[in-house]
């Protein structure tokens, strides 16, 4: 079952601009993670934020988490052509033995 | 290099012909899992394994089997494949189910059943 839902489904931006995508989920979580997938390849772990954290940074990535609204956002700053990919949020819900993934946001960065 | 290795990368088969997709990890992870990815549906878990000889069903287990005889290997078996199992399959591993350090994914197996 899909726990997370990303918004928007697709995003097209110019190189150098920022890209923001959102994720909403339904149940209590231990942590929320973001992954990147390049064109049918395997998913790559980007960043994890725990339920007691509100914001986390990693390089050009900034993740926020609002557990009261059951939502998270991923910001990619100063985007590059190499950031073109699909981005998925995944939740680790209490009592589950899995990560639950949303359908993803497809980001296209135009040169 | 720490990695999850899946084979084959691509496979075309006919309905009813048994097949196995192999998955191996070299990180001594206890937890392994299989997902399938279909357009618009994201990734759905098929089976998972908490450790050797411990496996359990995920969200979409019908038509699949798994085994975990060794810690590093977690093969996915389709005993009688059908066209609705045409999909992109991923194996993933982690130290713990929730992936507190994130999951490591294989490169995927694109399966077509005709």
B3-58 tens-digit pLDDT: 999 999 999 999 999 999 999 999 999 999 999 999 888 899 999 999 999 999 99
Give the distance from CA A110 to its chain's centroid: 20
Q: Which of B4, B43, B107 sits opposite A101 (nearest CB)?
A: B43
**A25/A7 Cα distance (integer angstroms):** 12
Q: Which of A31, A97, A99 sits opposite B56 (nearest CB)?
A: A97
- Residue B97: pLDDT above 90? no
- Residue A1: pLDDT above 50? no
Closest CA to B38 of A4, A34, A101, A92: A101
Report chain A's mean pLDDT, rounded to a whole number. Answer: 92
Residue A81 tokens read as 């052509």
Report chain B's mean pLDDT, rounded to a whole number. Answer: 94
Burial of B7 (0-12, 13-18, 19+ CB in 10 A): middle
Burial of B1 (0-12, 13-18, 19+ CB in 10 A): exposed
**A43–B41 CB contact, under 8 Å:** no
Closest CA to A20 of A54, A92, A71: A71
Residue A98, min C-alpha distance to chain B (Å): 5
**B42–A48 CB contact, under 8 Å:** no
- Residue B32 near residue B105, CB atoms below 8 Å: no
**B35–A104 CB contact, under 8 Å:** no
Q: Which residues of A touch B87 (CB under 8 A)?
A: none
Residue A42 tokens read as 């395997």
**B103–A99 CB contact, under 8 Å:** yes
Give the pLDDT mean for A56-81: 97
Q: Which residues contact A90 (CB under 8 A, 6 or more apart)?
A: A3, A4, A32, A33, A34, A35, A99, A100, A101, A102, B99, B103
Q: Which residues of A touch B102 (CB under 8 A)?
A: 33, 45, 48
Residue with tokens 């149940």: A27
Q: Which of A31, A41, A104 sits opposite B42 (nearest CB)?
A: A104
> Which residues on neighbouring strands pair with residue A83, listed in sequence order?
none
Residue A41, min C-alpha distance to chain B (Å): 5
Q: So what's the pLDDT on residue B99?
A: 66
Residue B88 tokens read as 């992109």
Give the pLDDT mean for A62-66: 98
Q: Does B101 touch chain A (CB under 8 A)?
A: yes
Q: Which of B40, B48, B106 sits opposite A97 (nearest CB)?
A: B48
Residue A104 tokens read as 């993803």
Q: Which of A38-42, B14-18, B58-62 comes out lowest in average pLDDT? A: A38-42
| Distance between start and end Cα atoms, chain B | 36
Chain A residue closest to B49 (CA)? A97
- Residue B49 near residue B55, CB atoms below 8 Å: yes
């Amino acid at each position: 079952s899909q726990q997370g839902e990303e918004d928007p489904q697709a995003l097209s931006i110019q190189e150098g601009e920022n890209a923001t995508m959102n994720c909403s989920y339904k149940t209590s979580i231990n942590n929320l993670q973001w992954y990147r997938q390049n064109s049918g390849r395997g998913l790559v772990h980007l960043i994890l934020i725990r339920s007691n954290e509100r914001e986390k940074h990693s390089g050009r990535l900034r993740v926020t988490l609002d557990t009261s609204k059951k939502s998270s956002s991923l910001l990619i700053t100063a985007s590059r052509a190499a950031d073109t990919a699909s981005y998925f949020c995944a939740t680790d819900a209490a009592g589950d033995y899995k990560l639950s993934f949303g359908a993803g946001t497809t980001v296209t960065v135009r040169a | 290099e720490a990695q999850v290795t899946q084979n084959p990368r691509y496979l075309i088969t006919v309905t009813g012909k048994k097949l196995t997709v192999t998955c191996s990890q070299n990180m001594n992870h206890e937890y392994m899992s299989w997902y399938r990815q279909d357009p618009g549906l994201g990734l759905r878990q098929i089976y998972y394994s908490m450790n050797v000889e411990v496996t359990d069903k995920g969200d979409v287990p019908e038509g699949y089997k798994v085994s975990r005889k060794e810690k590093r290997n977690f093969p996915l078996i389709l005993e009688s494949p059908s066209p609705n199992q045409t999909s992109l399959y991923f194996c993933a591993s982690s130290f713990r189910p929730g992936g507190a350090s994130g999951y490591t994914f294989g490169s995927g197996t694109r399966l077509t059943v005709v």
